Amino acid sequence: MLKTGLSVLVLAGAVESLQVTTGHSPFAQKALQIVSAHPIVKKNAYTEWFSEGEASIDEAKHLITQFSVFSNLFLLAQLNKVINAPTIDEMREGKEILANEIGVVFKPKAKKSSEIAGSFDPSIVSCTGTVEGGVYSHRAAHFEWLCDVGKSFGMQFEDLGKRRHGTEATLHFCDQLFEIYGSDDLSISLGASFAIEHWANAGFWDDLVDGFGKLNKRPGDGVELEDGTVSHTSPLGFWRFHQALEAQHAEHTMDELEEAYTEGRITDEKKFEVAANAMLDACAVFWDGLEADRKGEEFVVPESKPLYNI
């Protein structure tokens, strides 16, 4: 992804409107207008429903399963982005994301490496800093945080994260991430990155935090686990970490886009635009697939369109 998020999001739980601040180039303003107008950025019916806390245990488990597939397969897309990076600086930015995903905790400038070693709670680890000098822990891997969420719903490691667990809609999204976000054509990959940051900052993390929080408070007998104990609450760390991560990203993405454009790394504005929309279309397939699943409706995944001949 572009390492940091959007500077001009206007949030009210979910994003209702997005406005462009003055001082940006016509290209940056157009890019923002394009992604801000995409239906999945303007409204996410599935997460708005989930935020109400009315999901059944099986519906929550289905969301966790599909999100775990996305989370695990995102590693392939991010590695592809690292491999295809055109400069060593962009390669390093990509490795920051990849290393954090697999378990290297960000080290804030004010802290020593020894101060961040130990057991890791995703609710309190830093979402700022760098993996340079950071500390690796198996338990700090984002997928393991999701495994903890799954465990609270009676799910095991073998139930999560594998390609075989993904629906057609989820796998479509993951495959499009690998191809578009990880593209070796910089105009395409930057368009996808910009779009992904917009999507990630469009309020859906807030919806998921709200939904799981309400599920935790909902009266009932809880979930009986394999060891005979009963789970009443699900850990919120995975969702809250990403909620905080995207919030602190919000100040820099437009500046990074301006920098990439000024330095001539975006050589084809049309490709950038098409890639951004295609990436958001794939995001929409993921959420629309979940929405159809919860309603018991058939969902037909649209055919992918080639981007390389535009």
Q: Which of 189, 205, 199 is nearest to 37 (CA)?
A: 199
Distance CA 31, CA 26 (A): 9
pLDDT at 258 (0 to 100): 85
Distance CA 137, CA 154 (A): 24
Q: Which residues pair with 135 in a beta bridge?
A: 105
pLDDT at 74 (0 to 100): 96
| Any domain includes 3 | no
| Any domain includes 156 | yes
Average pLDDT of the segment spanning 26-54:
92
Highest mean pLDDT among 159-168, 202-211, 218-227: 159-168
Both tokens of 103, joined, read 């378990």
Query: CATH number of the domain that 253 lies in?
Result: 1.20.910.10
Kindly tell me if the per-residue pLDDT of 103 is higher than 50.
Answer: yes
| Any domain includes 308 | no
31: amino acid identity, one letter: A
pLDDT at 6 (0 to 100): 30
Q: Are 142 and 71 in contact (CB under 8 A)?
A: yes
Q: What is the DSSP code (8-state) at residue 221?
A: -
Task: Give the DSSP letter string of 28-84.
Answer: HHHHHHHHHTSHHHH--HHHHHHTTT---HHHHHHHHHHHHHHHHHHHHHHHHHHHT
Q: Which of 280, 273, 281 is nearest to 28 (CA)?
A: 273
pLDDT at 120 (0 to 100): 64
Average pLDDT of the segment spanning 3-25:
42
| Any domain includes 134 | yes
| Any domain includes 309 | no
178: amino acid identity, one letter: F
Kindly tell me if the per-residue pLDDT of 8 is higher than 50.
Answer: no
* Residue 238 lies in domain: 9-295
- State the total domains in the chain: 1
Average pLDDT of the segment spanning 155-181:
96
Global confidence as pTM: 0.85
Both tokens of 79, joined, read 């590695």
Least confident of 97-101, 121-125, 174-178: 121-125
Kindly tell me if the per-residue pLDDT of 61 is higher than 90.
Answer: yes
| Any domain includes 187 | yes
The per-residue pLDDT for range 191-206, each reduced to its tens digit, is: 999 998 888 888 899 9
| Any domain includes 157 | yes
Kindly tell me if the per-residue pLDDT of 165 is higher than 90.
Answer: yes
Numbers of helices and strands, H then E, in the chain? 12, 6
pLDDT at 132 (0 to 100): 78
Q: Which of 243, 240, 250 is nearest to 124 (CA)?
A: 240
Average pLDDT of the segment spanning 228-256:
78
Residues constituting the chain: 310
pLDDT at 7 (0 to 100): 30
Both tokens of 295, joined, read 């309603």
Kindly tell me if the per-residue pLDDT of 141 is higher than 80.
Answer: yes
pLDDT at 275 (0 to 100): 94
Kindly tell me if the per-residue pLDDT of 185 is higher than 70.
Answer: yes
Distance CA 56, CA 274 (A): 38
Coarse DSSP helix, strand, coil percentages of the chain, rounded to the nearest 5 percent: 60, 10, 35
Distance CA 54, CA 211 (A): 8
Q: Which of 192, 202, 212 is nearest to 257 (CA)?
A: 192
* CA angle 114–119–124, rounded 5-degree value: 90
Confidence of residue 255 (pLDDT cuts 50, 70, 90): confident
Q: Which residues pair with 88 in a beta bridge?
A: none
Kindly tell me if the per-residue pLDDT of 20 is higher than 50.
Answer: no
Residue listed under structure tokens 């990155």? 193
The per-residue pLDDT for range 108-128, each reduced to its tens digit, is: 766 655 555 565 667 657 667
Highest mean pLDDT among 50-64, 98-112, 133-147: 50-64
Distance CA 57, CA 122 (A): 23
| Any domain includes 94 | yes
